[in-house]
Amino acid sequence: MSVAVQGATGKGSRERDQRPGLLERLKRSYARHWYAYAMIAPVVLVLGVLVFYPLVQGIWLTLTDANSLNVARHIGVNEIPASYQYIGFHNYADILWGPGSYDRFWSHFVWTIAWTVICVCLHYTLGLGLAVLLNKKLRGRAAYRMLLILPWAVPTFVTVFSWRLMLSDGGVVNTVLSGLHLPEPGWLTDPWAQKAAAILVNTWAGVPFMMISLLGGLQSIPAELYEAAEMDGATRWQQFRHITLPGLRSVSSTVVLLGVIWTFNQFNVIFLLFGKGAPDAQLLVTWAYRLAFGQIPQDFAQSASYGVILLSILIVFTAFYRRWLARNEQANG
Amino acid sequence: MSTTTERPAAAATAVPAARPAKFRPRGESSPLSKALSHGVLILASLIALFPVGWILFVSLGPDKTDYLHPGQIFGKLTLSNYQHVLADTDFFTWFGNALLVSGVTTVFGVLLAATTGYAVSRMKFPGHKPLMWSLLVTQMFPIAVLIVPMYTMLSELGLLDSYTGLILVYSTTTVPYCAWLLKGYFDTIPVEIDEAGRVDGLSPFGTFWRLVLPLARPGLAVAAFYSFLTYWAEVPFASTFMLSSDKYTLAVGLQSFVSEHDAQWNLMAATAVLIAIPSAAFFYLVQRHLVTGLTAGASKS
């Protein structure tokens, strides 16, 4: 492993070999980094074999018309070779501007973006509010913390299943609503109510992570800052605005990034809440899954194309987000 | 009795007087804001608790439509659902499968990731940044990117519907994730320890193995618990790749109550509770460390 990497760096720096002692420098660099490369070798290997190779394979699939009828498969003892063929970027073109692309892609795209923005905003504000409360000197703080963390502690598919029972027609949520003489939406059947229900459930499930992360951030802000501010006569709001929020910046930037990634790719909530129904409430990721495993013939190529598009969106977002963070950091010293 | 009724009144009148609050010690809030805080926290706790409590309650009703008229459950509380699930279904097979798959994945992931986490935390080497980036990017993989090629690959290798196949698939996310998490933990261990080890003549690997790894035991435990809990209840991959019912993990087995026995909600509820208990217990054991590991790793990248 290390030898291969060493060779690669050698090739890269060959143009500048007028500097004396290239061999010497390589030897020194090899001696210095040998351990590092040996130590990362297992993960690089796993990433290469289990992630990179399937990724390349997946990207290749998106350039073909592969589906369950033409991939290599076994029927009984007979082995049928793959018969799909290269069709260029047709899948992407078809998804992005082919006939019916609004229903198949753009409507899900808009919903996925809206879902991500709404959920992450709710997660963050509710999580921050609860974290601030938990950071006060209150009696029973530990007990509140234990209870509030519960949605995170119980596996998602258990809690989503519970929500499904609660939100079903005649379930406890609608019973309460009818008791209050409020309208009873069909949470699991009506397109708009489905979206509201999905956001509700995901918010419920996602707040504890934000809350605990931000609480950790709050506790690392030195108390002297607040004392000094109080001496200078700062109000509670000013303290929050000028001490708490800046103090949380590094934690916030991380959890918001993770939150966006996880929410954008959120599979379990939608999949478990609606099962095979609710075409309108499908996010891009569940929609892609459905193309490959929820219909016959299974459209592997299109599904993988959706996946590649999703991944590209996230990578572009992350790159911009990190650049924006770096700029902010500079601006704020 | 009369004194106790008088107290709150006195306190209430004292509130406006104490309003300027110049003499209140820092961190103490006025009774009004305290009451408000308690109110919000109690409400939030109830909302957090309710769905979990609800499924526990429904699981005690013997009939599959009991969740629609919960009032009747009080009259006929029973553990018969649990009895049925434990005695008449493949629950223990599913339990064993989930334990096997998530256990092996965890051990594999943590073992492989530990050295990498250390190297990324302590050493500067060409390729450091790309490696950190690829560890981050693998967290972004939507399930749709890998699931199709993995499916075709596994079916070509004949690994569909096998434990090995599922473990390999899980490793794609757990290995980079554990490396990320452990990097965060190693960052919190002072570098002076490594330096002392080097001065005493240990090789970098010896330093890692003899000094740092023992100190990082809590971090390793957290990484292990985290990946264990994730795969204990993983649905999409397991339900796509595990085809025969003797290979089902818990999450997949639970789904089978819907199709096979025309939606036996009461049995599903009981199974769900049985699955949730061990994982919630584990979670509470390590939750204090979970987030620090995670965010430390990310914010210092």
Give residue A110's pLDDT: 94
pLDDT in tens, A30-48: 777 777 888 888 888 888 8
Average pLDDT over residues A145-171: 87
Q: Is the pLDDT of residue A179 over 60?
A: yes
Same domain, B109 and B76: no
Taking residue B43's Cβ as centre, other Cβ atoms within 10 Å add up to 10
Same domain, B12 and B122: no
Where is average pLDDT lowest: A77-91, B3-17, B60-74, B148-162?
B3-17
Q: Which residues does chain A have within 8 Å of residue B175's beta carbon, measured at their own beta carbons?
A: 43, 46-47, 50
Average pLDDT over residues B93-110: 90
The reply to whether B58 touches chain A by the CB within 8 Å rule is yes
* More confident of the two residues A184 and A109: A109
Contacts with A, B 279-298, CB within 8 Å? 279-280, 283-284, 287, 290-292, 294-295, 298
Same domain, B155 and B263: yes
CATH code for the domain in which residue B250 is found: 1.10.3720.10
Q: What is the pTM of this model?
A: 0.82
Give residue B49's pLDDT: 93
pLDDT in tens, B177-194: 888 888 888 888 888 888
Distance separating alpha carbons of residues A228 and B150, to the nearest angstrom: 57
Fold of A94-331: MetI-like fold (1.10.3720)
In chain A, where the domains are located: 2-62, 94-331
Under an 8 A CB cutoff, do B52 and A159 touch? yes
pLDDT in tens, B138-160: 878 877 778 888 888 888 788 88
* More confident of the two residues A205 and A295: A205
Distance separating alpha carbons of residues A224 and A235, to the nearest angstrom: 16
* Average pLDDT value for chain B: 79
Residue ending a domain, among B38, B68, B83, is B83
Distance from CA of A13 to the nearest CA of B (A): 12
Same domain, B122 and B39: no
Under an 8 A CB cutoff, do A155 and B112 touch? no
Under an 8 A CB cutoff, do B140 and A311 touch? yes
Under an 8 A CB cutoff, do B287 and A72 touch? no
Give residue B22's pLDDT: 47
**Would you state the structure tokens that stand for residue A53, as one six-digit string?**
């190779």
* Average pLDDT value for chain A: 84
Q: B45 pLDDT band (50/70/90 cuts)?
A: very high
Same domain, B95 and B27: no
Q: Is the pLDDT of residue A321 over 60?
A: yes
pLDDT in tens, A113-150: 999 999 999 999 999 999 999 988 888 888 898 889 88
Q: Which residues does chain A have within 8 Å of residue B294's beta carbon, measured at their own beta carbons?
A: 213, 258
Q: Is the pLDDT of residue A180 over 70?
A: yes
The reply to whether B72 touches chain A by the CB within 8 Å rule is no
Distances, alpha carbon A191 to alpha carbons A12, A112, A274, in Å: 56, 14, 11
Distance separating alpha carbons of residues B122 and B108, to the nearest angstrom: 22
pLDDT in tens, A183-225: 888 888 888 999 999 999 999 999 998 998 888 888 888 888 8
Same domain, B105 and B176: yes
Counting the structural domains of chain B, the total is 2
pLDDT in tens, B235-268: 888 888 888 878 888 888 877 776 655 677 888 8
Under an 8 A CB cutoff, do A43 and B44 touch? no
Q: What per-residue string of b and e applies to B144-172 under the rule 16 or more CB within 10 Å gives b?
A: bbbbbbbbbbbbeeebbebbebbbbbbbb
Among A31, A262, A154, A102, CA closest to B251: A154
CB of B187 within 8 A of CB of B122? no
Q: Which residues does chain B have within 8 Å of residue A74's beta carbon, measured at their own beta carbons?
A: 155
Average pLDDT over residues A74-89: 76
Give residue B2's pLDDT: 38
Q: A11 pLDDT band (50/70/90 cuts)?
A: very low
Distance from CA of B37 to the nearest CA of A (A): 6
Q: Which residues does chain A have within 8 Å of residue B54's beta carbon, measured at their own beta carbons?
A: 162, 165-166, 172
Give residue A71's pLDDT: 75
Q: B38 pLDDT band (50/70/90 cuts)?
A: very high
Give residue B12's pLDDT: 42
Distance from CA of A155 to the nearest CA of B (A): 6
Residue ending a domain, among B51, B83, B115, is B83
Same domain, B60 and B97: no
**Strand, coil or helix: what is A81?**
coil
Q: A14 pLDDT band (50/70/90 cuts)?
A: very low
Q: Is the pLDDT of residue B61 over 90?
A: no
The reply to whether B32 touches chain A by the CB within 8 Å rule is no
Give the structural domain span for B93: 87-299
DSSP string, A267-317: -HHHHHHHTT--STT--HHHHHHHHHHSSSS--HHHHHHHHHHHHHHHHHH
Given A74, A257, A292, which is nearest B147 (Cβ)?
A: A292
Residue ending a domain, among B83, B107, B127, is B83
- Interface contacts (A, B; CB < 8 Å): 285
pLDDT in tens, B69-94: 777 777 778 888 888 888 888 888 88
Same domain, B41 and B96: no
Q: What per-residue string of b and e applies to A286-321 under the rule 16 or more CB within 10 Å gives b?
A: bbbbbbbbeeeebbbbbbbbbbbbbbebbeebbeee
Same domain, B20 and B135: no
Where is average pLDDT lowest: A231-245, A293-307, B60-74, B198-212?
B60-74
Same domain, B134 and B278: yes
Average pLDDT over residues A77-84: 74
Q: Which residues does chain B have within 8 Å of residue A151's beta carbon, measured at their own beta carbons?
A: 48, 51-52
